[in-house]
Amino acid sequence: MKEGNQGEAVYKADRVKQEVLEKLKVLGARIVNDLKKERWPSVELPQRTTKNIVYDDSLRQYVLGSKRAVRTLSNIRHVRPFAQMVWLMKFAKQLIESGKTSTLRDAYYVALGENVDFEDQDESDDIILELESVLGNPREDFNVFPEERASIYGDLVIEYTILGFRGNRIDLSTHPDGYAIGPALTTAEFVRCGAEMVFVIEKGAVFSRFVEERADKKFKALLIHTAGQSPRNCRKLIRRIKEELNLPIYVFTDADPYGVHIASVLIHGSALSAHIKQINVPDAIWAGVYATDITKYKLPAMRFTEMDEKRLSELLEDPRYQTDPWKREVKYFEKLKRKAELEAFSKYGLEFIVKDFLPERLAELQKR
Amino acid sequence: MKEGNQGEAVYKADRVKQEVLEKLKVLGARIVNDLKKERWPSVELPQRTTKNIVYDDSLRQYVLGSKRAVRTLSNIRHVRPFAQMVWLMKFAKQLIESGKTSTLRDAYYVALGENVDFEDQDESDDIILELESVLGNPREDFNVFPEERASIYGDLVIEYTILGFRGNRIDLSTHPDGYAIGPALTTAEFVRCGAEMVFVIEKGAVFSRFVEERADKKFKALLIHTAGQSPRNCRKLIRRIKEELNLPIYVFTDADPYGVHIASVLIHGSALSAHIKQINVPDAIWAGVYATDITKYKLPAMRFTEMDEKRLSELLEDPRYQTDPWKREVKYFEKLKRKAELEAFSKYGLEFIVKDFLPERLAELQKR
């Protein structure tokens, strides 16, 4: 949490960007130096294949293994991606230095405008993933943000670090529909927090329900709405809340294979992001809705679709689901072949989920 | 705009809810009265079929025509939907009286819990549409809100009217990532506005770009992000901004058939909502990206997919697209068979869309 007065603030977000800038300069200087000495410039990349993903016990997330590839200008097939990455390094440097932000899509179009050849956005997205893996930083650290917006509400005062708003503070309990989590909120410092836990919620309607039933007050909770799969900058923000404010994080998703996956990606990390460390939240707790809750609470449930069956069969084979509660619930889904939504608790009235289900579930989880 | 002190505030949102409550009571009393006099209770419904949709010149939107159907308990096939609607009327009354909000999905589950038989959510959604058409009010007026969240940013101070926040004020220029437009913002009063126009934007990334390039300051503009097709409560909010603050509204969408449709639904209303008056914004101006802009600005463009072709052929036959700029642009799309995104302007650098395109487009539109 931030301390001290605003005038001399050195923000954590600034430090991270300075580090990235340093890494970019070192990489660039090495390329220039190689060229001057008439050596072929090269860059080392971790291999981003599923075969090179291992679980790191100390980080408690999946990370890339030790397999690395060398990309060198001496190989004609490497010239194109090498040049693309050098351009991207320049673009990243410009973004950080100007304080501007961008998206994956913007980056693609800027490249087109500067006559850097990308077949399509997939190709530029891929080079951005590569630069992440070379730097070891998520793209948000060089100001490339997702388009999706999660939102947040609760007793937390933040201070902005972005241009034009630097030093301004805002109390996140003043707008009950929630504050969008974009570049400004992602890079903000935490100034003061009255909350004692965090509820992460997949669905917008349930987020609104929690606000309306004053779950924020009753449980002293920050409420975060991920709008489905949580965007990476939202995962990072939740991790910062865990690390800097030391609050327990409870994750609520629909009781279906996709909901399980949403909770798991937040907690264990995604295979797609294994090249980036520390955007998952290993201490977060999946709090439901469990498959077993469908039976326990007699929730209205729907039959699995083919897509649900397919997703479930993937979960059954995934190493992330071999311990409880994951294993137990995935097995139960296999038996039940039915799913239920978070809103299904409304069967017992609109108040039930906050008044009855929440305290019961928290008591169960805190007993463990 | 709201005037006067907070203590005695009678909010517009309260008045609307009182009106709906009155209508519900009149409907209910008529049913009870019929039963007492041993007559079959009945209710009149406008026919919600495409054949009964006409353009209303004074309202400047599509509305339902004069064809009506009578639903009566004397017809055995009407008993089920009649009973469902009576239950919904009770639920709507409870929502208004308690100040609670709900979603279409919540309403379905609450019905299940109270043993009101709905086959699935489609059936309960349909009864909610019917109640809207009987009352002549959108469901937001009886506290049923969409799950989707648009967001807003700019120089506007609002005052909440919902429980727990009544009388609180908030300045919508303090959080640059935007404020979610949920139940609280939808029903808020406008207290003070320094903006002189509104930019409605389909894409989150472009909304962020507008904030970052300070389009809100340069053009004294409120920025609204619809996240694709604008949810109905967002359309209603934009209409209120037009009516109560008298600001011109400019709408920016991708240059593709779906973008045209998004702009058109906001301006002309949707066939699906023809039974509800005044949630469209007839004075809003579609400001691009036009098909002709793809050529004019040499924007990177992609070939139409089959879905684009199909949507375009629907637009070509739709009566809403028979005047310019709609007709001109739809015809140009037919010729070009290519599409471009709002972000494509980044080809000319991240600043271009606000620094160059926006003033050019506004000058063109204001010349007319």
In angstroms, the separation between the Cα of residue B67 and the nearest Cα of chain A is: 35
Q: Residue A52: pLDDT above 90?
A: no
| B350:A100 CB<8 A | yes
pLDDT of residue B338: 96
CA-nearest of A279, A281, A103, A245 to A183 is A103
Q: What whole-number percentage of chain B has pLDDT above 90?
A: 79
| B203:A160 CB<8 A | no
pLDDT of residue B152: 97
Q: Residue A123: pLDDT above 90?
A: yes
- Centroid of chain to Cα A317: 23
Calculate mean pLDDT across residues A77-99. Answer: 95
The domain spans of chain B are: 12-142, 150-367
Question: Which chain B residues have a beta carbon less than 8 Å from that of A205?
Answer: 103, 105-106, 147
Calculate mean pLDDT across residues A143-155. Answer: 91
Question: Which chain B residues have a beta carbon less than 8 Å from that of A206?
Answer: none
Tokens linked to B368 = 């007319």
Q: Which of A65-69, A110-114, B193-197 has maximum average pLDDT?
A: B193-197
What's the pTM?
A: 0.91
Task: Find the CB nearest B178 among A110, A180, A348.
Answer: A180
Say which CATH topology domain B150-367 has.
Dna Topoisomerase Vi A Subunit; Chain: A, domain 2 (3.40.1360)
Count of pairs with CB atoms under 8 A, one residue in A, one in B: 154
| A147:B205 CB<8 A | yes
Please state, rounded to an integer, the average pLDDT across all residues of chain B.
Answer: 92
In angstroms, the separation between the Cα of residue B274 and the nearest Cα of chain A is: 25
Q: Residue A7: pLDDT above 60?
A: no
Identify any residues that bridge with B64 across adjacent strands, giving them in sequence order. B53
Q: Are B79 and B60 in contact (CB under 8 A)?
A: no
| Catalytic residue (one of B109, B258, B290, B332) | B109
Task: Find the CB nearest B176 among A151, A165, A177.
Answer: A165
In angstroms, the separation between the Cα of residue B227 and the nearest Cα of chain A is: 9
Nearest-by-CA chain A residue for B179: A179
Identify any residues that bridge with A223 across adjacent strands, giving them in sequence order. A153, A199
| A182:B178 CB<8 A | yes
Nearest-by-CA chain B residue for A298: B113
Q: Are B224 and B200 in contact (CB under 8 A)?
A: yes
Residue of B100, B206, B343 to mutate, testing the A interface (most A Cβ within 10 Å of its Cβ): B343
Tens of pLDDT, residues A273-316: 888 888 899 999 999 999 999 999 999 999 999 999 999 998 89
In angstroms, the separation between the Cα of residue B116 and the nearest Cα of chain A is: 11
Question: Which chain A residues have a beta carbon less than 8 Å from that of B170?
Answer: 174-175
Calculate mean pLDDT across residues B326-339. Answer: 96
Q: Does domain B12-142 have CATH number 1.10.240.10?
A: no
| A177:B179 CB<8 A | yes
CATH number, domain A195-367? 3.40.1360.10
pLDDT of residue B9: 63
Is A290 an active-site residue? no
Q: Are B337 and B313 in contact (CB under 8 A)?
A: no
Calculate mean pLDDT across residues B53-69. Answer: 84
Calculate mean pLDDT across residues A158-168. Answer: 94
Which residue in this structure is represented by tokens 């016990």? Answer: A57
Calculate mean pLDDT across residues B352-357. Answer: 97
Calculate mean pLDDT across residues A222-249. Answer: 95
Calculate mean pLDDT across residues B118-145. Answer: 93
Task: Find the CB nearest A182 among B164, B208, B348.
Answer: B208
| Catalytic residue (one of A55, A62, A109, A179) | A109
Tokens linked to A70 = 């060398």
Which residue in this structure is represented by tokens 């050529």? Answer: B295
Residue A44 has φ and ψ, to the nearest 5°, of -95, 135
Tens of pLDDT, residues B298-327: 999 999 999 999 999 988 988 788 889 999
Nearest-by-CA chain B residue for A176: B184
In angstroms, the separation between the Cα of residue B19 and the nearest Cα of chain A is: 23
Residue A155 has φ and ψ, to the nearest 5°, of -80, 75
CA atoms of A250 and B153, how far apart (whole Å): 30
Residue of B346, B351, B356 to mutate, testing the A interface (most A Cβ within 10 Å of its Cβ): B346
Q: What is the dihedral of CA B359, B362, B366, B368, to 10 degrees?
A: 110
Q: Which of A3-17, A140-154, B188-202 has maximum average pLDDT?
A: B188-202
Question: Which chain B residues have a beta carbon less than 8 Å from that of A169?
Answer: none
| E runs forming strands in chain A | 42-46, 53-56, 61-64, 68-72, 150-153, 156-159, 169-171, 179-181, 189-193, 197-201, 221-225, 249-252, 285-288, 302-303, 338-339
Q: Are B281 and B239 in contact (CB under 8 A)?
A: yes
Residue B117 has φ and ψ, to the nearest 5°, of -80, 115
| B168:A174 CB<8 A | yes
Q: Are B301 and B338 in contact (CB under 8 A)?
A: yes
Q: Residue A10: pLDDT above 80?
A: no
Calculate mean pLDDT across residues B13-36. Answer: 95
Does ipTM come in above 0.95? no
| B179:A179 CB<8 A | yes
Please state, rounded to an integer, the average pLDDT across all residues of chain A.
Answer: 92
3-state helix, strand, coil in chain B (%, to 5): 50, 15, 35
CA atoms of B144 and B208, how far apart (whole Å): 29
